[in-house]
Amino acid sequence: MKRLALIAAFALAACSAADTSPSPDAVSTPDVSEAPAPIGAYMIVQGKDYAPGSLGPYAAALPPIYAKYGGRYVAFETDIDVAEGGSDYSAVIISAWPSKTAARAFWDSPEYREAIKLREGIGTFDVVIVGALPTQ
């Protein structure tokens, strides 16, 4: 049940991020036929000790902030397959960013500082930003 609630919350957020319908605040509508921007960095979030469904409002607040800073979800998993060592995390979420600077700008933004309040006291999360390997 916990896995289903988290998947639903992040799927809602990811689908909202992919919405290409015009909004009154939109400057321009993205051309969805174009390939995604090159990936310069990844943000990896590992979470544990949260209640099912408790992240819904937080997850729903993220898509417009991700879009503003160029981020997108690339992986979300609650059925973690540990190949070596140990992990007590319940979920891993990976997002792609144009650069480490863009990922950090998202993280430090006033919009995200407000959104993160929606998950205060809900679980434990470790977040790292790593540079992507150059494409060849």
Q: What is the pLDDT of residue 34?
A: 61
Question: Which mean pLDDT values do the consecutive 10-residue runs of the chain (136 residues) have?
Answer: 44 40 38 69 95 88 97 94 91 96 98 96 96 87
Q: What is the pLDDT of residue 97?
A: 98
Three-state secondary structure readout of the chain: CHHHHHHHHHHHHHHHHHCCCCCCCCCCCCCCCCCCCCCCEEEEEEEECCCCCCCHHHHHHHHHHHHHHCCEEEEEECCCCCCCCCCCCCEEEEEEECCHHHHHHHHHCHHHHHHHHHHCCCCEEEEEEEECCCCC
Q: Is 10 within a domain?
A: yes
pTM of the model as a whole: 0.74
- Number of structural domains in the chain: 1
Containing domain of residue 104, as a range?
A: 2-19+38-131
